Structure 1
Amino acid sequence: MKTYELIAPCHFGLESVLKKEIIDLGYEISQVEDGRVTFIGDAEAVCRANIGLRTAERVLLKVGSFRAFTFEELFDETKKLPWEEYIPVNGKFWVTKATSIKSKLFSPSDIQSLVKKAIVERLKATYHINWFGESGAAYPIRVFLMKDVVTVTLDTSGDSLHKRGYRKLASKAPITETLAASLILLTPWKKDRILVDPFCGCGTFPIEAALMAAHIAPGLNRTFCAEEWENLIQKQEWTSAREEAREAVDLTVETDIQGYDIDGEIIKAARENAQLAGVDHLIHFQQRDVASLSHPKKYGFLITNPPYGERMEEKESLPGLYRTIGERISLLDSWSAYIITAYGDAEKYIGKKADKNRKIYNGMMKTYFYQFLGPKPPRRNRPAESGE
């Protein structure tokens, strides 16, 4: 079967997490760059990666790459690529996005227009037609320029992979599903350990943790653009990948995953989202202020995304809020705490320096993932399958 270079974009700073996921799926990594991981795979890999990757933003199929310093070079090199091997005569195609970093060509709209024109000219000559009805499947194209190297890809995912299909209701500043999954995977949390999010909002951290605990693939209940690409991927490949994912699901797993929020309406939304995800029986949601955070058991995990004052009136309350967070963490016996925030004085008011501090870009916003590490539980308290 034909193999491709597949590119999986991710949040900047979390490439190592995605790399491990891809290796665990059984595929060879060919390159790791800022914000994306490239791997080798066939048509089956396209299906399994879209359905199974928790931390990738999408799965892109690389058509080609080349250097271009002028628009003429961009047009000529794009036209040389074998587009007829990917887009059928009735295919609907457009350049959905172009990005340029440290390159001579920097106008996204001009890049998009010229790449589309070059593809049209190539396919006109190949199919011997002058007009494309574009009545068939959609083949969205994405173009990246980095230091004058152009990479042209087909987007196999369509909607971003963070759209799992369960989050119908969102809080004011929700964390994306892919980022939440990445941060959980950065911790040593396992399904047999306690996990609490005291600022759970619409429930993303608890739901993503429950999906992991039950081995529910993140893309199991959604569709993908490439499902219509019958010239490249047979329907049976998608069917087989979904069957594989369904067979792995374990809804009988026992968990202690809890989500709290001070807003009762948001907690109601979180419960509805968990129900849509099929994991509502694995999570305990409760309307609760962080000031009353407590847990009788030892060796738990706090993973959360507290407010960080995007509005001026919120900024004034942040010292007190983070001081409260620090006080409550100190009362949790032998717990580990993981906090993602853009608030620069977080450690100061929590009252403790983080053991680890990882810079992560949430979109264009620079945030920090503060990691306050507690002791590991004694080995006799840890099930053999925990892997720690």
Structure 2
Amino acid sequence: MKTFKLLATAASGIEALVNSELKDLGYETETENSRVRFEGTVNDIARANLWLRTADRVKIIVGEFDAFTFDELYEQTKALPWEDFLPMDAEFPVNGKSHKSKLYSVPDCQSIVKKAIVDKISDVYHRRGKLPETGAKFPLEVAILKDHVLITLDTTGPSLFKRGYRTEKGGAPLKENMAAALVMLTTWRADKPFVDPTCGSGTIPIEAALIGHNIAPGFNRTFMSEDWNWFDASVWEEERADAESKADYDIELDITGTDIDGSMIEIAKRNAMEAGVQDSIVFKQLQLKDFRTDKEFGVIVSNPPYGERLGDKELVEQIYREMGAAFKPLDTWSKYILTSDLDFEQFYGKRATKKRKLYNGALRVDYFQYWGKRPPRK
């Protein structure tokens, strides 16, 4: 079976998580900035799309080479085996980006790559004139960094963060793959209590439930490559059946999501139902300052409103103070709070054990981590 060179792309700061996920799936990997390289067959492409929680896309590397002139870009692109990927009627839009390269005009690079592919496909299929582009879609990207050209084919389609369960969302929603990353960066395991006290539309608790039940995050959606003529439908059936067999629906999870806004709680419940984890999460309306629990050794993950999201600095600072006061008695709990406010610790009332730099979209944020006491050894 044919083996492809593959890329799993990711937001800056969580490449290590994607790398860890791919290793857990059994692949040898190589981590780079915002992406992880691996190799695999069509089954592996389907498996990675179904299982990767923190990645954005799975791409096939069609070719890579150095190019310093438009002629070199054209000739080396045309020399690639496009007939292995694109049928005669393929729709193949070409996106582009260029950084620190002699070929800095992105529109020119895109049009030259497009022309090279059209000429190659026309030669292979003995076509004259314009190609029809009426068939399945094959999204391509030409990315040039320091004169090194990387041409990739997107197998995913809409980003992997689009799980398909979010029927409604709040004003500043957290992407599902970022929510999964926040959970995976904690010490939480399925036998521990988990709480999100600012849950909004429920994304973080839902991702925790999917992780706890070992449910493949892409199980309820479709992917771009399912429409390709050389990607057999039986591959997807096989990988979905395998994913279904690995899910543990019997494990009992202790996951709670609370929010001050009752309408958001109702949205969170509907989203959890769409994800199939409504019986594993308790959602309730609650003010942050009223949060109490007698449970021990749990994990709290919170993505509270912060300056850029709320616009009211005093209100945000009050939320941080309430959070610090509510969490202070919970010395056995580990707390993880995501915010872009560098003064967060001042209002929370305690220095973090550790901070991790992440990006929520284009916004630089910090993940403030407060580690609780370890449970006694059994």
TM-score tier after normalising by the smaller chain length: over 0.9
Tell me, in whole angstroms, the C-alpha distance in 2 between the residues paired with 1:152 and 1:220.
28
Tell me, in whole angstroms, the C-alpha distance in 2 between the residues paired with 1:145 and 1:91.
24
Matched, 1:106 2:67: no
Tell me, in whole angstroms, the C-alpha distance in 2 between the residues paired with 1:110 and 1:305.
41
The answer to whether the 8 A contact 1:201-1:261 is kept is yes
Q: Secondary structure at the match of 1:153?
A: strand
Q: Which residue of 2 aligns with 1:386?
A: none
Q: Which residue of 1 aligns with 2:14?
A: 14
- Aligned-pair CA distance for 1:242: 0.2
Tell me, in whole angstroms, the C-alpha distance in 2 between the residues paired with 1:339 and 1:312.
16
2:354 counterpart letter in structure 1: K
Structure 1 residues 178 and 66 mapped into 2: Cα distance closer, same or farther (>3 Å)? same
**1:346-385 deviation per Cα after TM superposition (whole angstroms, max 9, x unaligned):** 11111111111111122211111111111221232xxxxx
Structure 1 residues 110 and 264 mapped into 2: Cα distance closer, same or farther (>3 Å)? farther
Structure 1 residues 196 and 74 mapped into 2: Cα distance closer, same or farther (>3 Å)? same
Q: Which residue of 1 aligns with 2:272?
A: 274
Q: Secondary structure at the match of 1:138?
A: coil
Q: Which residue of 2 aligns with 1:27?
A: 27
After superposition, where does 1:1-388 map in structure 2 within 5 Å?
1-29=1-29, 31-95=30-94, 97-130=95-128, 131-231=130-230, 233-310=231-308, 313-380=311-378
Report how many aligned residue pairs link the two structures. 377
Gaps in structure 1 of 5+ consecutive residues:
381-388
- Aligned-pair CA distance for 1:282: 0.3
Tell me, in whole angstroms, the C-alpha distance in 2 between the residues paired with 1:312 and 1:132.
49
The answer to whether the 8 A contact 1:294-1:331 is kept is no
Structure 1 residues 349 and 223 mapped into 2: Cα distance closer, same or farther (>3 Å)? same
Tell me, in whole angstroms, the C-alpha distance in 2 between the residues paired with 1:313 and 1:58.
32
**Comparing 44-53 and 359-368, the one that deviates more:** 359-368
The answer to whether the 8 A contact 2:310-2:316 is kept is no
**Comparing 103-112 and 364-373, the one that deviates more:** 103-112
**1:219-268 deviation per Cα after TM superposition (whole angstroms, max 9, x unaligned):** 1011001112232x221111100000111122221111111111111111
- Aligned-pair CA distance for 1:316: 2.6
**1:276-303 deviation per Cα after TM superposition (whole angstroms, max 9, x unaligned):** 0000100011111111111111111111
The answer to whether the 8 A contact 2:7-2:60 is kept is yes
Tell me, in whole angstroms, the C-alpha distance in 1 between the residues paired with 2:371 and 2:48.
32
The answer to whether the 8 A contact 2:331-2:373 is kept is no
**1:195-236 deviation per Cα after TM superposition (whole angstroms, max 9, x unaligned):** 1111111111000000111111001011001112232x2211
Tell me, in whole angstroms, the C-alpha distance in 1 between the residues paired with 2:296 and 2:108.
58
**Comparing 135-144 and 213-222, the one that deviates more:** 135-144
Tell me, in whole angstroms, the C-alpha distance in 1 between the residues paired with 2:85 and 2:69.
26
Tell me, in whole angstroms, the C-alpha distance in 2 between the residues paired with 1:312 and 1:36.
31
Tell me, in whole angstroms, the C-alpha distance in 1 between the residues paired with 2:96 and 2:374.
46
CA root-mean-square deviation: 1.4
TM-score by length of 1: 0.94
Runs (4+) off by over 4 Å: none
Tell me, in whole angstroms, the C-alpha distance in 1 between the residues paired with 2:104 and 2:287.
48
Tell me, in whole angstroms, the C-alpha distance in 1 between the residues paired with 2:69 and 2:260.
55
Tell me, in whole angstroms, the C-alpha distance in 2 between the residues paired with 1:313 and 1:170.
19
Q: Secondary structure at the match of 1:37?
A: strand
- Aligned-pair CA distance for 1:135: 2.5
- Aligned-pair CA distance for 1:141: 0.6
Percent of counterpart pairs with the same letter?
46
Tell me, in whole angstroms, the C-alpha distance in 2 between the residues paired with 1:34 and 1:305.
25
Structure 1 residues 311 and 37 mapped into 2: Cα distance closer, same or farther (>3 Å)? closer
The answer to whether the 8 A contact 1:297-1:333 is kept is no
- Aligned-pair CA distance for 1:332: 1.6
1:5 counterpart letter in structure 2: K
- Aligned-pair CA distance for 1:102: 2.5
- Aligned-pair CA distance for 1:168: 1.4
**Comparing 112-121 and 275-284, the one that deviates more:** 112-121
1:319 counterpart letter in structure 2: E
